[in-house]
Structure 1
Amino acid sequence: MNKKRVLFLHNEFPSGGAERVTVDIADYISERGFDIYVLAREIRDWSLPNMTLLELPDKMSVNSKENADAIIDILQELQIDIFVLPVQTLSYLSHIRSNTHCKIIFALHGVPFWEIASDLYTKKKRVWSSPFKRLGWILVTYPKTMWFKRYHKRLLSDYIRVYSQVDAYTVLCEEYKQVLIEKMKLSPSENRIYVVPNSEKSAETVNFNKKKQILYVGRMSYEDKRIDRLINIWDMIYEKVPDWEFILVGDGEERESLQQMAQKKKLPRISFAGHSDHVEKYYRDASVLCLVSTFEGWGLCLTEAQANGVVPIAFDCSAGVHYILSPSGQNGILVTPYNLEEYARLLVELLTESEKLKMMRQNVIRKSMEYAPDVIGDKWLRIFDSLLSSLGKCNKMENN
């Protein structure tokens, strides 16, 4: 029997959480009768196993007509059965669809309509340093955006366009599915939306002899991650936990300003480790992971922490984060968004109650098994099988 062929499209590969999930899926389904291809604007590691790696001709933008034509040629030449778009939407998707016969899946790796919050916070940051512009934001920009909802309507039409052009649409949790059904006015019983959480591999070995380390792992950006909140929280608690240290792993446009903020406050026992391709060494020693995002679709660092026996604490800012850390006090700590005083209080309680920390360490490891690659990989296989079954029926009808 000929192997079925699946192609994933990325911008840069590998580069982040979505790409890591693709690698996990590829590892799983390649052992179950599929040939895996990854197509990207830029390939950063050509040595990845279990997949064939390809680059697009236009290095400036994935979303160009030249690349759309190249995608069509590749899909046809390789006789791809399933084309997966993790995160990346395409302006020329209808053009690609009309010139190929493969099934298309779009995978939403964030909160539905996350772009609204991102756009608002970007605009807010841009004007907040000026009292006059800040007043304009409060009196004009914010009310205009929220009341008239022009951006909301335009964004909704983009979501509907993508949904109408794909054969399956995946989201990270049931609540996200219900949001899309409601906003796009879909039938609750007849739709193409599937719930597929992100996968998380178990740690090869978990270190239970943890150090008194608090950890942040991720991109250092303002609109979503808001690490300045963590600096303020550490300022509020460091005297109460004199044996603990705070390590921030990651890089981004905010790193320099965050370091300056910590230096200005003269905060002790805080270090910026920069980008790392081996974050497992930090998870090995850390006891607690902190996340203070304004919006976070899933939070791969939360599941990474759980798999390594690191207890996560985060704002209850999305259904995805809520699912990962629930019930609060067992599988992590959920904090009322965006209450820094409550966050500081609950963090100190966690750091000073060693028995509770030990109990939660065992719980979070068990919780992480819910998104093991074989569990999540099986969900992808069921979607593939369903699409391939309908593809086979269509081919039979065309041949008759």
Structure 2
Amino acid sequence: MRERIQLSKDILDQELEELTAQLFDQANKMVIDEARMRDNLENANKELRCELKDWIRRFETRGEELKDLQRSLRALQAAKARSASITALSPGTSVANLDQLSGSKIYRMAYGQLPVDGYIFIEFQDHIKQTALASSLPPSQAQATTQSTLFMRRCMVEDIEPCLFYNYQHPQFAGMNLTLFFKPGAGMSSAFKRKLLDGTMRGSLLFTPFYSSTESLPAADPIERLDQDRRISTVFAAGPPPKTRCTICTVVRDCEYRMRFSSEVGASPTGGPSSSAATIEWMSLCRFCRERVIAVTDFFTYINHLRQGAIGPGKQGASLLGIYRHVLYLRRRMASTRIGSGAMFEVDPATNPDWEKMIQILN
């Protein structure tokens, strides 16, 4: 009996040892297989990384080649534009072709962009911010705040004062210091300049044709101005306007218009350079000074609408760039009226080849 038990125990121990050996062999095999699979995965990962780096290098090379190609195309377009401009400057070239090849158009042809001076645009953005912040202030304080921004001070120095207080060089002043003479408003008193500037800011100036006895609407109404121009052209055909001294430029010339301040009831502005008597209400105004005053008034009217909230970014579909473009248009209009030749730029030489025959030099 004891021998049988010992034999069973020996057999059981042997089977246990064999089973343990099999388990260890299987475990070792699994470890070896896992190590082999890990090595294969790492090798495959290395190969894929190398391939990825190779593709990245290829794409970077293609990107550089594409940039070089774009630069070459731009240079080619610029060369074509320069060649076209040189061809346009050859003898016999029409003015229409010269106008079509302006600097900005050549830039757009070469680069497809519209460059804008970022410094002035930043000043305008700050003006819009100050305008929004001043909306809760009283009207007088809000106006003073918006008028003191860097953008408005720039417009005042560069556009408004040179346009509104424009003056000419007279032969009798040939011996004077021209630097002092060409200072804006040299022929006006300080009181009159302040009153004229305030009138354009408030839109309180009235204009009427020299022959009319009725008051016209303020300068900011373009429909009334167009109607006046039509009536004046009809009357001028029957007789020329009076030749008198213009209130603003102080030049003796044909004065087709008269001007007054809407707050007055029978007197011209104190200290005004008008040669008429102090009891005369209306002041003589030449065509060119009227256009300058209207250009300044239209600019202030638009700025006032911005301050009052009638116009602004996001209102009536207006964008900041759209508002900025219109403000620049009004500034450009002041510049063109200041030089007294704004009407020349309202005619397209391409559609009016005989535009030179339409020019009328007025003294």
Q: TM-score, normalised by structure 1?
A: 0.20
Bigger helix share: 2
Larger strand proportion of the pair = 1
Q: TM-score, normalised by structure 2?
A: 0.22
Structure with max Cα Rg: 2
